[in-house]
Amino acid sequence: MEIRTRFAPSPTGFMHLGGLRTALYNYLYARKMGGKFILRIEDTDQDRFVEGATEVIYDTLRGCGINWDEGPDVGGPCGPYVQSERKALYLPYAKQLVEKGAAYYCFCTKEELDERRAAAEAKGEVFKYDKHCMNLSKEEVEEKLASGIPYVIRMNCPTTGESTYHDVVFGDMTFPNDTLDDMILIKADGMPTYNFANVIDDHLMGITHVMRGMEYLSSTPKYNLLYNAFGWEIPEYVHLTTVMRDSQHKLSKRDGDAYYSDFIEKGYLKEALINYLALVGWNPGDEREFFTMDELVEAFDIHRLNNAPGIFDMDKLTWFNAEYIRKMPFEDYLATVTPWFDKVLAGTDTDYRRLAELMQSRTEVFNRVPDMVRFLAEMPEYDLELYFNKKMKSDPQVALENLQFILPVLESVPEWTETTIHDKVMEAIAAAGKKNGAVLWPLRIAISGQASTPGGAFEIAYLLGREETMKRLNAALAKLSENA
């Protein structure tokens, strides 16, 4: 049997991390088993459709290396792969169910349903459709249909007994049938509901493994009733736990941690994100943490999926990202970091290549880069407390003396390169019998205004250029003199 999995997103906006992980797991399993991975666009809810969202799905998946064997843009033997283009398929199947007594026409108006819902809520009950239209005779139904009265088609769920099915992750799941509602299969506009189209399409596309979020655990008995009513084989179910921010909170749009695009815009690498996301809810069974996509395919096993919520630890992701950045080929890093340098250094003569050499091992997330290098564009305000350093036995007075000492040395540097600055300064320090740190610490503070910088005094002086370095050094001397 050929394994066939599918990812069936709704084009309602950006790609949620939970959805991306679902796509990833479906892709990994299909590739591991030598099967097919299908992309289907489920756009039956036209009210929630967002223009351009389908392209976002394509771009996100392909950008992450998740390619499909069949889908809207690549075709395949089970198309079309967009549900709205399959609209004519669904009503005949719903009518088959009506004929079998597994579904029925419902003519209740929105107002009537709202009234019954309000009455149930007033009693503290959960509203469930009461099968009112099941009592209509065949003649009454035909008369209403002939009169053009709007209708939906509902499935006829049993009200007694239990429904049980097996899930790869959660084991045997049992639900009382009296909790199942007669969900709508065909809406008043003739479009199928998500739930109904999902079953029809999974069957017609030969889906063998339905891998989706655990929010569908309680709906699955209704899907199985449909499969059984048609006499179709029920697929293998693999329900995935929710991706959580912590043990209590889901990822949220408000906090900017729900969507794939949020992280890309912040400067996380897609390779790091996919690698980490794969481990949120699955483990390889060994100590490995870093995987290429091919290695994930090789290692993936649906029986190692967790049934506890997957915690998306931002600190761990950031650590992953930093490791990936450090392993980037330098030219790739330079190309990636340049736009982030430009945010604060555009228009300056900063040597981006040298700055990138200093920054690559210090970069955790690219959106932090501008603040780390902003001092090169504009000297920040800083407190004289920065000149205190117990290890260097430095304080503002000592700093003043050492900066006065180094000023003429820097003025005498013939060619402003990192090497000549280094050689001239180190030679002068040695000749004067001073300690390196006692001079270099206050010099770096004086020209950067920061306790932590990418590179030391020589690198910073070179990046700033002679004119800016001397300007900042003189300003620091004036500031220290005023407070001496």
The 3-state secondary structure of the chain reads CCCEEEECCCCCCCCEHHHHHHHHHHHHHHHHCCCEEEECECCCCHHHCCCCHHHHHHHHHHHCCCCCCEECCCECCCCCCEHHHHHHHHHHHHHHHHHHCCEEEECCCHHHHHHHHHHHHHCCCCCCCCCHHHHCCHHHHHHHHHCCCCCEEEECCCCCCEEEEEECCCEEEEEEHHHCCCCEEECCCCCECHHHHHHHHHHHCCCCEEEEEHHHCCCHHHHHHHHHHHCCCCCEEEEECCEECCCCCECCCCCCCCEHHHHHHHCCCHHHHHHHHHCCCECCCCCCCCCCHHHHHHHCCHHHECCCCEECCHHHHHHHHHHHHHHCCHHHHHHHHHHHHHHHHCCCCCCHHHHHHHHHHHCCCHHHHHHHHHHHCCCCCCCHHHHCECCCCECHHHHHHHHHHHHHHHHCCCCCCHHHHHHHHHHHHHHHCCCHHHHHHHHHHHHHCCCCCCCCHHHHHHHHCHHHHHHHHHHHHHHHHHCC
Q: Are residues 165 and 68 in the same domain?
A: no
Q: Are residues 198 and 185 in the same domain?
A: yes
284-301 residue pLDDT tens:
999 999 999 999 999 999
Q: Could you tell me the pTM of the whole model?
A: 0.93
Annotated catalytic residue: which of 253, 327, 393, 435?
A: 253
Q: Does residue 267 register a pLDDT over 90?
A: yes
Q: Is 320 within a domain?
A: no
Q: Is 321 within a domain?
A: no
Amino acid at 3: I
Q: Are residues 43 and 72 in the same domain?
A: yes
Q: Are residues 235 and 115 in the same domain?
A: yes
CATH number at residue 61: 3.40.50.620
At 391 the pLDDT is 76
Q: Are residues 180 and 277 in the same domain?
A: no
Q: Are residues 163 and 211 in the same domain?
A: yes
Name the domain boundary from 260, 290, 314: 314
| Domain hosting residue 14, numbered range | 4-81+244-314
Q: Is 210 within a domain?
A: yes
At 356 the pLDDT is 98
Quote the mean pLDDT of the chain.
95
Q: Are residues 262 and 231 in the same domain?
A: no
32 is annotated as an active-site residue: no
342-399 residue pLDDT tens:
999 999 999 999 999 999 999 999 999 999 999 999 999 999 999 988 776 778 999 9
**Among 400, 371, 405, CA closest to 384:** 400
Q: Is 436 within a domain?
A: yes
Please compute the mean of the pLDDT values over residues 160-169 and round it to a whole number: 98
At 167 the pLDDT is 98
43-92 residue pLDDT tens:
877 777 778 889 999 999 999 999 999 999 999 999 999 998 999 999 99
CATH number at residue 453: 1.10.10.350
At 231 the pLDDT is 98
Q: Are residues 231 and 252 in the same domain?
A: no
Q: Are residues 343 and 366 in the same domain?
A: yes
CA 380 to mean position of chain CA atoms: 35
Q: Are residues 77 and 89 in the same domain?
A: no
399-456 residue pLDDT tens:
999 999 999 999 999 999 999 999 999 999 999 999 999 999 999 999 999 999 999 9
At 250 the pLDDT is 86
Q: Is 325 within a domain?
A: no
Name the domain boundary from 240, 261, 288: 240
At 388 the pLDDT is 87
Q: Is 398 within a domain?
A: yes
Q: Is 322 within a domain?
A: no
At 249 the pLDDT is 87
Q: Are residues 179 and 262 in the same domain?
A: no
Q: Is 324 within a domain?
A: no
- As for how many domains the chain has, the answer is 4
Hey, what are 205's tokens? 């596309």
In the chain, count H helices and then E strands.
19, 11
Q: Are 340 and 333 in contact (CB under 8 A)?
A: no
Q: Are residues 207 and 310 in the same domain?
A: no
Amino acid at 128: K
At 326 the pLDDT is 98
Please compute the mean of the pLDDT values over residues 316-337 and round it to a whole number: 98
